Structure 1
Amino acid sequence: MSTNEGLRAPARTGSPDPRAARVRDRLRRAAFELIEQRRVEKISVSDITQRAGVSRQVFYQHFRDRDDAVASAVAASLQAAAAETDGEHPVALIHRLCDYTAEHAGLYRNLYPSAASQQTADAYRDLIRPACERLAAGLSERSAGVLADFLIGGIIEVSRHQDENADAGTAARANALRARIDACLDAVGIQVS
């Protein structure tokens, strides 16, 4: 097999067929449930297919490998969480993703470091980019792009470090994460409330 064949997208990845979408959702749900329970390296394609009730052949019609399925599952979940704040103030989206991160703290511990973690970070970055660009534009039109990149990197990095609140409940973790991110936003001159 050539290198290009290995990188080619699976046949059913973007299929509009509702049956394919249902199977892809089942596979994503299975991968998401597994990543909440154990580290990525302890999850196999067989684990995902067994939980989803499909064959390996069907799995490979939708995903390149385990990491692709895990990253897709987390990205879809992040997008669903972000959709809850559609059209609100940019900080509302950032806060909603803080809540999501706190709700799924175990998932993030199980995700890092793995090949899927970079794909997940890219999906998170893509979700918060429009909000960070809006916030940055309010501060500086000339360097808004650079400031948006700075905000994105800072939010991702602050969100990753929740170990000090590992024993706290979800609400306490979410509030602590929001407070840390709000302090950073305030430090660069962004009004949070």
Structure 2
Amino acid sequence: MSTNEALRAPARTGSADPRAARVRDQLRRAAFDLIEERRVERISVSDITQRAGVSRQVFYQHFRDRDDAVAQAVAASFRELAPDAEAEDPRAVIHRLCDFAARHADLYRNLYPSAASQQTANAYRDLLHPACLRLVEHLPEPSTLADFVLGGIIEVVRLPAEGPDTPATTESLRRRVDACLDVFGGSRRTFT
């Protein structure tokens, strides 16, 4: 890590201090709300700090830059959807992510393409991969198939969000994803 990167690295990312956690949550909420309103490139650090009611100095104690704040805000929302994703029915986890995508279609449109979109996609993959692996663990080459299913889910959810015609609904996204999952026998399996 270069000296500049070290100086810009957030100091309180892992802080257990409840005040720091509260401020970090305020900043994430502000970034999340702004990304639902407009494209990432039209959001500034000042916009986030004004919405959160904190200074720029405080912002930089928690995030490297705007894209870091946006990516962490969306990733935190994903984690809230499935705090114990590895222990529950994988289809339920996938359905909740479909519901989230339908409710936050503007967020998806405003996020892509931006520097924050790759970090966000990685967080989405990290959450979904265990569920996909559990869906195909009974088949040959489960790791490869899990990657394939994961990529398919991402595309099935992403494409309607990017289309200008009709917004995706929870039902339409679930139906699209379920049609794909049924091919792998995921709907007939019982998970514990």
**Length-normalised TM-score, structure 1:** 0.89
Deviation at 1:159, TM superposition (A): 0.9
Deviation at 1:85, TM superposition (A): 6.6
| Partner residue in 2 for 1:108 | 108
Spell out the pairing of 1:77-96 with structure 2 (5 A cutoff).
77-83=77-83, 87-96=87-96
Counterpart CA distance in 2 for 1:28 and 1:3 is 26
Deviation at 1:184, TM superposition (A): 1.1
Give the 3 Å change call, closer, same or farther, for CA 82–165 of structure 1 in structure 2.
Answer: farther
The question of whether the paired residues in 2 share the 8 Å contact of 1:45 and 1:65 is answered with yes
Give the 3 Å change call, closer, same or farther, for CA 67–164 of structure 1 in structure 2.
Answer: closer
The question of whether the paired residues in 1 share the 8 Å contact of 2:85 and 2:131 is answered with no
Q: Count matched residues.
A: 187
Give the 3 Å change call, closer, same or farther, for CA 122–85 of structure 1 in structure 2.
Answer: closer
Counterpart CA distance in 2 for 1:186 and 1:52 is 44
State whether structure 2 residue 176 is matched by structure 1 residue 177.
Answer: no
Task: Please give the per-residue CA displacement for 1:102-158, whole angstroms capped at 9, x wherever unaligned.
Answer: 010000000000010100000000001111111121223xx1111111111111111
The question of whether the paired residues in 2 share the 8 Å contact of 1:85 and 1:96 is answered with no
| Partner residue in 2 for 1:22 | 22
Deviation at 1:166, TM superposition (A): 5.4
| Partner residue in 1 for 2:184 | 188
Task: Please give the per-residue CA displacement for 1:145-178, whole angstroms capped at 9, x wherever unaligned.
Answer: 111111111111111111458545xxx6111111
Q: Which amino acid aligns with 2:5?
A: G
Give the 3 Å change call, closer, same or farther, for CA 14–132 of structure 1 in structure 2.
Answer: same
Counterpart CA distance in 2 for 1:166 and 1:70 is 26
State whether structure 2 residue 126 is matched by structure 1 residue 126.
Answer: yes
Q: Which amino acid aligns with 1:179?
A: R
Structure 1: runs of 5 or more not aligned:
none
Q: Which amino acid aligns with 2:57?
A: Q
Q: Which amino acid aligns with 1:184?
A: C
CA RMSD of superposed structures (Å): 2.1
Deviation at 1:100, TM superposition (A): 0.6
| Partner residue in 2 for 1:158 | 156
Give the 3 Å change call, closer, same or farther, for CA 173–166 of structure 1 in structure 2.
Answer: farther
Task: Please give the per-residue CA displacement for 1:74-106, whole angstroms capped at 9, x wherever unaligned.
Answer: 001111122387743111100111001101000
Identity rate, percent: 66
Which stretch of structure 1 is more off in the superposition, 51-60 or 156-165?
156-165
State whether structure 2 residue 45 is matched by structure 1 residue 45.
Answer: yes
**Length-normalised TM-score, structure 2:** 0.90
Counterpart CA distance in 2 for 1:110 and 1:165 is 13
Give the 3 Å change call, closer, same or farther, for CA 157–14 of structure 1 in structure 2.
Answer: same
The question of whether the paired residues in 2 share the 8 Å contact of 1:85 and 1:92 is answered with no
| Partner residue in 2 for 1:5 | 4
Structure 2: runs of 5 or more not aligned:
none
Counterpart CA distance in 2 for 1:136 and 1:150 is 10
